[in-house]
Structure 1
């Protein structure tokens, strides 16, 4: 829809597009931060209010996408959803880093949507949704715990800590 035909200067607009559309025509890159990515065949939902303002267009709303990435403990695949609130200005002569370019007839929302998704992807280790202990975590990484529900025996104590364990035992006994 051409910008000049926005009724009363405001328009609610929504669309669902494949994530691959956000990459541009020839790019084979993915929407990725570290090990977390938005699958190219997943949907990205955009729901915004477009408002003509002096010298440009104001865009406010929300962008939603799904991501996949490995668990921080067991490396099994996890997925989640990002929701990003957007409030941006498009101008014919945009200030770099502050505004997006506005064409004479149309506003290309693609760069704004791509940046909104990338800025919300988790960049740190994704917490494991499994209960403690994670059933997929190797035994050598679980630590010296006794896990009766899993059938795994307690790890042997480190002999370097025997003196401290003896003191703890005496304190617990009230000595």
Structure 2
């Protein structure tokens, strides 16, 4: 284990848990979470965590029978394109974690607890990847989006639903009627 700045490290020495509990708050670069032996980056489809961005980790670590429990939250910012017009968008995630580190972990249920330290990086990486958006992200522009090419913009009606035929699906009419009534009521 190489020497690291404890203010920017995801390696927690177990000697710091002598009293049984420890609050661990650290800000690290996303590049510290990239796995060195692979080309994997922090990405789900077209949404990514930029490697030069900050990741904030705030945890309460506690000695438990057979290991260490980690409870807290992880916050980070992501970048990805609008699903309609490919305008670059930024967003944020806040992942709540409640995990256990054990010397002999059950695969998929616990993380490895080393004899002298807990490496939080695998847990933080997985929590981030699980929180990144995987569905289409729509930009905040009104419908139809002004960034759409004209041939695609004509495929959207006034409500923003994909409707190339020009007639709304009749199954949505009751919902639209409810929305209108709710908007009109004081």
- Identify the TM-score tier after normalising by the shorter chain: 0.7 to 0.9
SS of alignment partner, residue 15 of structure 2: helix
Runs of 4+ displaced beyond 6 Å:
144-147
> Which whole-Å CA distance do the structure 1 matches of 2:16 and 2:106 have between them?
26
- Cα displacement (A) at 1:18: 0.6
> Which whole-Å CA distance do the structure 2 matches of 1:108 and 1:145 have between them?
49
- Alignment of 1:44 with 2:55, yes or no, is yes
Aligned position for 1:19: 30
- Alignment of 1:128 with 2:139, yes or no, is yes
Superposed CA RMSD: 2.3
> Which whole-Å CA distance do the structure 2 matches of 1:140 and 1:133 have between them?
12
Quick check: 58-67 or 20-29, which moved more? 20-29
Structure whose alpha-carbon radius of gyration is higher: 1
TM, length-normalised to structure 2: 0.74
Question: Given the alignment, which residue of 67, 76, 80 partners 2:78?
Answer: 67
SS of alignment partner, residue 89 of structure 1: strand
> Which whole-Å CA distance do the structure 1 matches of 2:41 and 2:123 have between them?
16
> Which whole-Å CA distance do the structure 1 matches of 2:155 and 2:62 have between them?
60
Residue correspondences, number: 151
Residues 134 and 107 from structure 1, CA distance in 2 versus in 1: closer, same or farther, beyond 3 angstroms?
same
Residues 58 and 144 from structure 1, CA distance in 2 versus in 1: closer, same or farther, beyond 3 angstroms?
closer
- Cα displacement (A) at 1:64: 0.8
TM, length-normalised to structure 1: 0.79
Query: Which structure 2 residue ranges, 5 or more long, are not aligned?
Result: 1-11, 159-163, 168-186
Quick check: 21-30 or 134-143, which moved more? 21-30
Residues 146 and 19 from structure 1, CA distance in 2 versus in 1: closer, same or farther, beyond 3 angstroms?
closer
Question: Given the alignment, which residue of 22, 35, 41 partners 1:30?
Answer: 41
> Which whole-Å CA distance do the structure 2 matches of 1:60 and 1:146 have between them?
46
Aligned position for 1:2: 13
| Cα-to-partner distance string for 1:141-164 (whole Å, 9 max, x where unaligned) | 2237798xxxxxxxxx97x99xxx
> Which whole-Å CA distance do the structure 2 matches of 1:71 and 1:36 have between them?
10
Query: Which structure 1 residue ranges, 5 or more long, are not aligned?
Result: 148-156, 162-175
SS of alignment partner, residue 107 of structure 1: strand
- Cα displacement (A) at 1:26: 5.0
- Cα displacement (A) at 1:6: 1.7
